[in-house]
Amino acid sequence: MLIDRPEKESYTCREVLNKVLLGDALTVLRKLPEESVDMVFMDPPYFLQLPPKELRRWTVRTVVEGVNDDWDQFGSFEEYDEFIKNILLAIRRVMKPNATLWVIATYHSIFRIGKIMQDLGYWILNDVHWVKTNPMPNWLGVRFTNATETLIWAVKDKKAKKYTFNKEFAKEFGIGKIGANVWVLPICSGRERLKGEDGKKLHSTQKPVELLRRVILTSTQEGDTILDPVAGVGTTGYVAQALNRNFIMIEINPKYVKGIEKRFEEPLKLKAISSKDKKKVAEYVTVEE
Amino acid sequence: MLIDRPEKESYTCREVLNKVLLGDALTVLRKLPEESVDMVFMDPPYFLQLPPKELRRWTVRTVVEGVNDDWDQFGSFEEYDEFIKNILLAIRRVMKPNATLWVIATYHSIFRIGKIMQDLGYWILNDVHWVKTNPMPNWLGVRFTNATETLIWAVKDKKAKKYTFNKEFAKEFGIGKIGANVWVLPICSGRERLKGEDGKKLHSTQKPVELLRRVILTSTQEGDTILDPVAGVGTTGYVAQALNRNFIMIEINPKYVKGIEKRFEEPLKLKAISSKDKKKVAEYVTVEE
DNA sequence: CTGCCGGATGAATCACAAC
DNA sequence: GGTTGTGATTCATCCGGCA
């Protein structure tokens, strides 16, 4: 069975391998054996601005002179930080000593996440920048078009050395010929995008298969175990399976889990990025004369 | 006089306009009038935490002149955070209500800086990614080649609305045709790179003129006042002057200040990026068929 | 003046084994 | 644990020397 709802106190690796565990990330993570996974990919919820009324004031406010009282968003920042910190701690426990962790987010939250990671002892190896060829057309002329998401790639500890890095793939994916930390690829759309029964997109931030293909190929070996504690519609496991890696996915929303189940009925056949798509990418990033 | 050593308790804007103030950033910032500058560009120490040993090129046996300057040394993350927080607070005081702030750093510290900015109430407008066409390669192939630096662009407060954003320039500089938050340009080298009397680079991390040109053209108007509290060899003011903006620069190191003085003897004549360079950039980011 | 070639170098958290 | 010596292996770009 692909789907499982963990009831026991703790699980062996074998019991949860290649399963989607229905439940809260933190609760389920704590049931997994320690030092058991080779790589973790996390796509945490984005930080959403709540209406000011629901927010508390930030206690550190008193540090600053001459500041008006509208610093209300910090109450929710604190809650967000707490959530991130706890899940990063729980992840750290299940990572093998030389496992690596990927986290993806936008500027709304990536800075908070990165600092928390460093404070917990994670050692950042790279930031990788996903440049979207077809970002949301949010051009109001008041900001730069936000065409990027940032991935942080890290090890548990500064001392971790023998992590997996397949540089041939890194060179293939990064722009230029030097394996740079910049990936240019389109967002998930078209047939790849999962739809609900209402015909609308099932998940608001479904990650493209190609993104996970790159993550997995550069940082794991065949047979490795990949964990995604906030699986959403399960792109991580879906691509992992196609690349002969094992996966453990955790997702709390039954709607998404149902989506994963349906998705897995038709296993992914991976093909390299089409030359047509490559051409599009090339056109996109080319600077005009 | 271009150079000035502030002795008084406080200064009017007129007294410090288009001057390099020799002194500690925090001390001098507190002497400036509040709400007096339109834009701030800050290039703080990145706290690279480079290993104490030297890195030697294998083929030519030469040593990489890393960033081992005293100004990049901090005892701990906490110490670094305190430094950043205090300077960000002092900057906030002198910013006009609709002024904007740019901060640049690499993955070593940009996440910490971004979180501290958010915690202090700064409202992030964008992250802008500088993709370097000619970075140091990662020789051992154990990571992605770190080819980027990240700029955070922010206003003092979420409520600030009427900040300057020249969208024509944003469209010109960003890759694609959408004004994306990605700038591709080479690092500062060759004749542009200031040399000391020993023939070696005067500053380990001099920023390219083209980077500042983009920052200034997108986020200020002619006649605006631009502050750089950690001026180094003064690229910010040098480009500001060429673009008919006013500047206030602060720098504590007399060696760098002397470098600025000499640099200003020959005012910058700005030329647009050449079509040859544009072509190179295009080649660099183009994806192969 | 131009073109070719060798040398130098860049914000780098870059390895590993032996003592 | 720290220190030191050996060795495996990157690329775009600029500059100066020389043909």
Name B residues 97-116 whose Cβ lies under 7 Å from strand C: 105-109
- A70 contacts B157? CB cut-off 8 A: yes
Quick check: A206 and A193 in contact, CB under 8 A?
A: yes
Quick check: A219 and A226 in contact, CB under 8 A?
A: no
For residue B17, what is the enclosing H or E element? none
- Chain A neighbors of B146, CB-CB under 8 A: 126, 181
Residue B18, SS3 per DSSP: coil
End-to-end CA distance of chain B: 57
Contacts of A103 (CB under 8 A, 6+ apart): A42, A43, A44, A110, A113, A117, A151, A152, A154
pLDDT averaged over every residue in chain A:
86
Gap from A207 CA to chain B (nearest CA, Å): 20
Q: Please state whether strand C lies within 7 Å of residue B48 at its CB atom.
A: yes
Paired strand residues for A104: A151
Q: Residue B286's pLDDT is what? A: 44
Quick check: A139 and A145 in contact, CB under 8 A?
A: yes
Domain boundaries A3-60+70-285, CATH class: alpha beta
Residue A152, SS3 per DSSP: strand
Name B residues 50-79 whose Cβ lies under 7 Å from strand C: 50-51, 54-55, 57, 60, 62, 64-67, 72
Q: Residue B130's pLDDT is what? A: 97
Residue A289, Cβ neighbours under 10 Å: how many?
Answer: 7
- Chain A neighbors of B111, CB-CB under 8 A: 110-115, 117-118, 124, 152
List chain A pLDDT tens, one digit each, 289 residues. 899 999 999 999 999 999 999 999 999 999 999 999 999 999 998 775 544 333 333 333 333 332 333 333 445 898 899 999 999 999 999 999 999 999 999 999 999 999 999 999 999 999 999 999 988 776 778 999 999 999 999 999 999 989 999 999 999 999 888 899 999 999 999 999 999 989 999 998 999 999 999 999 999 999 999 999 999 999 999 999 999 999 999 999 999 999 999 999 999 988 655 555 555 555 544 433 2
- Chain B neighbors of A79, CB-CB under 8 A: none
Q: Residue A53's pLDDT is what? A: 34
- A178 contacts B137? CB cut-off 8 A: yes
**What token pair was written down for A150?**
């940032």
Paired strand residues for A152: A103, A127
The ranges of chain B with pLDDT < 50 are 286-289
- B175 contacts A284? CB cut-off 8 A: yes
**What token pair was written down for A91?**
């992840």
CA atoms of B185 and B200, how far apart (whole Å): 23
pLDDT single digits (tens) B277-286 = 666 565 555 4
How far does the CA of B60 sit from the C1' of D9, in Å? 11
Torsion of CA A67, A68, A70, A73, to 10 degrees: 0
Nucleotides of C under 7 A from a protein CB: 7-16
> Would you list the domain boundaries of chain B?
3-285
Instruction: Give the pairing type, strands B148-155 and B95-105.
Output: antiparallel
Residue % of chain B over a pLDDT of 70: 93
Residue B143 DSSP class: S
- Describe chain B by its helix, strand, coil percentages, rounded to 5: 30, 20, 50
CA atoms of A2 and B278, how far apart (whole Å): 51
User: A60 phi and psi, to 5 degrees?
Assistant: -70, -10
Paired strand residues for B195: B201
Question: Is B288 an 8 Å CB contact of chain A?
Answer: yes
As separate numbers, helices (DSSP H) first and strands (DSSP E) second, chain A gives 9, 9
Quick check: A235 and A259 in contact, CB under 8 A?
A: no
Distances (CA, A) of B96 to B157, B163, B167, B289: 11, 10, 21, 49
Question: Is A174 an 8 Å CB contact of chain B?
Answer: yes
Nucleotides of D under 7 A from a protein CB: 4-5, 7-15
Q: Nearest-CA neighbor of A93 among A154, A47, A31, A138?
A: A31
End-to-end CA distance of chain A: 56
Residue A286 DSSP class: P
Nucleotide nearest to B69 (CA to C1'): C11
Gap from A126 CA to chain B (nearest CA, Å): 7
pLDDT single digits (tens) A17-55 = 999 999 999 999 999 999 999 999 999 987 755 443 333
Contacts of A3 (CB under 8 A, 6+ apart): A19, A20, A22, A257, A260, A261
Residue B179 DSSP class: T
Contacts of A192 (CB under 8 A, 6+ apart): A208, A209
CA atoms of A185 and A213, how far apart (whole Å): 12
Nucleotide nearest to B192 (CA to C1'): D14
CA atoms of B100 and A195, how far apart (whole Å): 41
Residues 116-135 of A with CB under 8 A from B: 116-119, 124-129, 131, 133, 135
Residue B152, SS3 per DSSP: strand
Q: Nearest-CA neighbor of A185 among A118, A274, A253?
A: A274
Phi-psi region of A209 (alpha: psi -120 to 50; beta: other; left: phi over 0): alpha
pLDDT single digits (tens) B80-120 = 999 999 999 999 999 999 999 999 999 999 999 999 999 99
Contacts of A1 (CB under 8 A, 6+ apart): A19
pLDDT single digits (tens) A105-140 = 999 999 999 999 999 999 999 999 999 998 877 677
| Candidates B174, B218, B281; nearest CB to A145 | B174
Paired strand residues for B153: B102, B126
**What token pair was written down for A159?**
């001392």
For residue B249, what is the enclosing H or E element? strand B246-251
Residue given tokens 């998404």 in the structure block: A256
Q: Nearest-CA neighbor of A176 among B171, B59, B105, B144?
A: B144
**The domain defined by B3-285 carries CATH number 3.40.50.150:** yes
**What token pair was written down for B92?**
């906030």
Q: Nearest-CA neighbor of B47 among B82, B22, B86, B20?
A: B82
Distances (CA, A) of A153 to A1, A119, A189, B106, B148: 31, 15, 25, 14, 14
Question: Is A76 an 8 Å CB contact of chain B?
Answer: no
Question: Is A147 an 8 Å CB contact of chain B?
Answer: yes
